[in-house]
Structure 1
Amino acid sequence: MKIVVIGGTGLIGSKLVGRLGDHGHNAVAAAPATGVDTLTGEGLKAALRGADVLVDVSNSPSFADDDVMTFFRTSTGNLIDAAQEEGIGHYVALSVVGSSRHPEIGYFRAKAAQEDLIMASGLHYSIVHATQFFEFAVGIADMSTKDGVVRLPGAGVQPMAADDVAAAVGRAAVGKPLGGRLEIAGPDKFGLDEWVRKVLVARNDSRAVVQDSDARYFGAHMHYDTLLPRQGAQFGVISLGDWLAFDAQVRS
């Protein structure tokens, strides 16, 4: 099976291409570095020629509200046009748990727009909603730091390893189109502040992490269950403890 992975050189894409190749599929990494630009359409149709499945795990280089909306609208529009022209049988996209719950968050609003375009395209599709990745904890801490203290709302999270994300997206890619959404999450639930604190402590980062009811997440107030998966979600197998142990080995 030929599977084209848009964003195939990134964090999830590179892992996905490797997994698919290990299972005997012809996995093609499509990204600007390989001559494929979804914003301009350059190289896109050539990459999709003869493909059975298109998987989009790409991301906007800028998270500014206008930039991220422009990226996903333009990129997804070009992908849909090319997929329709090349007769792609299955369009798989990676999105985020909670994308439709907080339209005041620019990134969530852009991902919801991406999903709407795919669902209205007439293509057979599957949309995979993932929770936060373990790999994002430090970035969340950085954007939430003020005067040397990390302030986070009391939201619940069920973060997961990028390897588990890639495995779930891979299963979706080789399976039948869902014609809907699938939520995936990590095996354990934490408070947002608890998760970030564990990662910073493991990395010997001395910043204090406190739960603050006035703190916001990407500019929005969070309810406890806003970022948590709903009933029917599938769960990864890599725990935070296991991931931290592996991360320590890689960083040593």
Structure 2
Amino acid sequence: MKIVVIGGTGLIGSKLVTKLGEQGHEAAAASPNTGVNTLTGEGLAEALEGARVVVDVSNSPSFEPAAVLSFFETSTGNLLAAETAAGVGHHVALSIVGTERMPENGYFRAKIAQEELIEKSGIPFSLVHATQFHEFVRGIADEATDGGKVRIAPVRFQPIAGDDVAAALARVSTGTPLNGRIEVAGPEQFRMDEFFRQALAAAGDRREVVTDPHARYFGSELDERSLVPLDGAILGTIRYADWASPRS
């Protein structure tokens, strides 16, 4: 089965292409690096020829609210139109756990807009909402750093390894369209400030982690369950400590 992965040369996309190939599928990585541009439409029609499934794991190059909204609306609109023309039977998109709980967050608003376009497209679809990736822990700490201190709210946090996200996407993309969403998360739940205190220390990062109930996560103030899944989420198998130990 031919499966086109939009954003297939990035972190999750490259892992997904590998997994699908190992399962015997014809997995095609589509991105500007391979001559496919969803913003301009360049190369889309050719990339989707013969495709039965499209998996969109692409991301905006800018997180500025207006820019990210424009990216997801334009990119998704072009992609869905090309899928309709090509007769694609299943659209899979990667999103984020908690998008609907933080509508004041510009990036999350853009992902909601993307999902609404998918739901109204008429193409059978599946939405995979994932928690924060293990690979983004350092970046989250950097974003939260203020005056040399990392300010983190004492809320729930359940990060997931990129390999587990790719595995979930592989299962969904080769199955029957959900016409709805699933949530995926890591196997362990932490208190976010304690997690970062331990993770940075284990990595030899000397920054002090300060517990701050009003600390913002990429501009948004969090409540207890903003970033964790509801009941019924599919859990990955890779613990953060096991993932980080070869890298520390």
> Is the shorter-chain TM-score for this pair beyond 0.5, marking a shared fold?
yes
* Local SS of the residue matching 2:95: strand
Which residue number corresponds to residue 38 of structure 1?
Answer: 38
Distance 1:198 1:20 in 2: 35
Check if 1:56 corresponds to 2:56. Answer: yes
Whether the 8 Å CA contact 2:214–2:222 is kept in 1: the answer is: no
1:221 positional shift: 1.4
Which residue number corresponds to residue 108 of structure 1?
Answer: 108
1:111 positional shift: 0.4
1:199 positional shift: 2.5
The amino acid that maps onto 1:156 is R
Which residue number corresponds to residue 93 of structure 2?
Answer: 93
Q: Which runs of 5+ in 1 are unaligned?
A: none
Distance 1:160 1:46 in 2: 34
Q: TM-score scaled by structure 2?
A: 0.98
1:191 positional shift: 1.5
1:194 positional shift: 2.1
Distance 2:135 2:10 in 1: 13
The amino acid that maps onto 1:243 is W
Distance 2:242 2:181 in 1: 28
Distance 1:13 1:169 in 2: 10
Distance 2:105 2:8 in 1: 26
**After superposition, where does 1:1-252 map in structure 2 within 5 Å?**
1-248=1-248
* Local SS of the residue matching 1:42: coil
The amino acid that maps onto 2:193 is D
Distance 1:44 1:202 in 2: 44
The amino acid that maps onto 1:150 is V
The amino acid that maps onto 1:188 is E
Whether the 8 Å CA contact 1:89–1:123 is kept in 2: the answer is: yes
Which digits, 9 at most, give the CA deviation of each residue in 1:80-99, with x for residues without a partner? 00000000000000000001
The amino acid that maps onto 2:146 is K
Distance 2:22 2:246 in 1: 21
1:142 positional shift: 0.7
The amino acid that maps onto 1:139 is G
State the percentage of identical aligned residues.
58
Which digits, 9 at most, give the CA deviation of each residue in 1:102-144, with x for residues without a partner? 1100111000100000000000000000000011111111111
Distance 1:229 1:213 in 2: 20
Distance 1:177 1:214 in 2: 39
Instruction: Detail structure 1 runs of 4+ shifted over 4 Å in the superposition.
Output: none
> Which stretch shows the higher mean deviation, 206-215 or 50-59?
206-215
Which digits, 9 at most, give the CA deviation of each residue in 1:16-52, with x for residues without a partner? 0000000100000000000000100000110001001
Distance 1:74 1:230 in 2: 30
Whether the 8 Å CA contact 2:95–2:127 is kept in 1: the answer is: yes
Root-mean-square deviation (Å): 0.8
Distance 2:111 2:194 in 1: 27
Distance 1:47 1:247 in 2: 36
Whether the 8 Å CA contact 2:4–2:54 is kept in 1: the answer is: yes
Distance 2:115 2:246 in 1: 33
* Local SS of the residue matching 1:100: helix
1:216 positional shift: 1.1
> Which stretch shows the higher mean deviation, 208-217 or 181-190?
208-217
1:217 positional shift: 1.1
1:60 positional shift: 0.6
The amino acid that maps onto 1:128 is V
**How many corresponding residue pairs?**
248
Whether the 8 Å CA contact 2:148–2:207 is kept in 1: the answer is: yes
